[in-house]
Amino acid sequence: MTTTPTLPRNDGMPLDLDWVMAVQANTSAIERRAATLPGRRSVKKDYQAAWLCKAISLMDLTTLSGDDSAGRVRRLCAKARQPVRADILTALGMEGLTTGAVCVYHDMVATAVEALDGSGIPVAAVSTGFPAGLSPFHLRIAEIGESVAAGAQEIDIVISRRHVLTGNWQALYDEMREMRAACGDAHVKAILATGELGTLRNVARASLVCMMAGADFIKTSTGKEPVNATLPVTLTMIRAIRDYHDRTGVMVGYKPAGGISKAKDALVYLSMIKDELGDRWLQPDLFRFGASSLLGDIERQLEHHVTGAYSAQWRHAIG
């Protein structure tokens, strides 16, 4: 996996309510812009294969099911180490390609850490009463500490949606600050659950407040909401990231999660990031896909590129 210079973490800043309340979102304009993207960017042949390999390197390979087992997590970690069949990677000249991380529940952190030992692939743990985030606050903070102690290098926390829906930005900021502190050296991804926030303006303001409070990444969804990552939400969030970078000089990462299952969709997201934020954000320390089924479709597309024929999905099983 390609290494990039280590960026300073987002230490956050005092809550600036004037800035937060000045944030607006022109929903119709955002939706029009998002609707143009799938037709405006098209890469083919070798270029498409290269972009799809890039998408794999930016993937948080995820299992968050009630029937997760140690065996399933070990198979997922083996897939993270070798995400595409060796013969395909050799034909593409992409030996050594891995996913960006593996994302699991807390109970599976130790298993994943052991299975990924020596690979350089970090383990991300969902935390803070995932997916609803409604367990007692002291237990949410304790859960973060347990996952960090078990070896998780990244913590995906969920915010209290009620703070956004009631406009209690101070409460959201204070909550995020405490969660960020509990993570210690582990990077924190703040899950906004955008499908439950009501408006794009709420999405934009929640994004900004979480960044002010020290989020290293902002993430769309838990993957458990009826509506997860969408292009209008993504455009709203990454423009908040751009605004925060313009004012503070700090780069914050972005993670769309839920509903991205096709290779062609991944290409649209990558082109949006390139257009709106620039090439530096197309690295694992600043962009991730939260995905479980996306990898299978990308592998099928890469095999088609190499052999000229599509294969059955069962030939590319994740676990």
What is the spatial distance between Cα 59 and Cα 192, in angstroms, rounded to a whole number? 19
Where are the strands (E) in the chain, listed by range?
59-62, 101-104, 123-126, 154-158, 187-191, 217-219, 253-255, 289-291
pLDDT digits (tens, 9 = 90+) for 139-181: 999 999 999 999 999 999 999 999 999 999 999 999 999 999 9
CA 126 – CA 89 distance, rounded (Å): 30
Domain limits, the chain: 17-316
Out of 79, 216, 219, 265, which one is annotated catalytic? 219
Which parts of the chain have pLDDT scores under 50?
1-3
Tell me how far apart the alpha carbons of residues 305 and 91 are, in angstroms, rounded to a whole number.
10
Task: Give pLDDT, residue 3.
Answer: 46
Handedness of CA 133, 135, 141, 147 (dihedral sign): negative
CA distance 176 to 159: 7
Task: Given the residues 54, 60, 79, 156, select the one marked as catalytic.
Answer: 156
pLDDT score recorded for residue 245: 98
* Cα→Cα distances 52→177, 234, 262, Å: 36, 19, 11
Q: What is the pTM of this model?
A: 0.94
Active site annotation includes 274: no
Please say if 279 is a catalytic residue.
no
pLDDT for the residue numbered 117: 97
What crossing angle do the helices spanning 263-276 and 27-40 adopt, rounded to 10°? 120
Q: What is the pLDDT of residue 106?
A: 96
Listing from the earlier edge strand, what are the strands of the sheet with 289-291?
253-255, 217-219, 187-191, 154-158, 123-126, 101-104, 59-62, 289-291
Among residues 205, 209, 237, 208, the alpha carbon closest in space to that of 221 is found at: 237
List 216, 255, 265, 297, catalytic entry: 255
Q: Are 318 and 296 in contact (CB under 8 A)?
A: yes
- CATH superfamily of the domain spanning 17-316: Aldolase class I (3.20.20.70)
Residue 1: what pLDDT?
A: 39
| 8 A C-beta contact, residue 214 and residue 180 | yes
Q: What is the pLDDT of residue 314?
A: 72
What per-residue confidence (pLDDT) applies to 47?
93
What does the alpha-carbon distance between residue 198 and residue 271 come to, in Å, rounded to a whole number? 26
Q: Is 44 a catalytic residue?
A: no
State the pLDDT at residue 2: 41
* Class of residue 207 by CB neighbours under 10 A (exposed 0-12, middle 13-18, buried 19+): buried
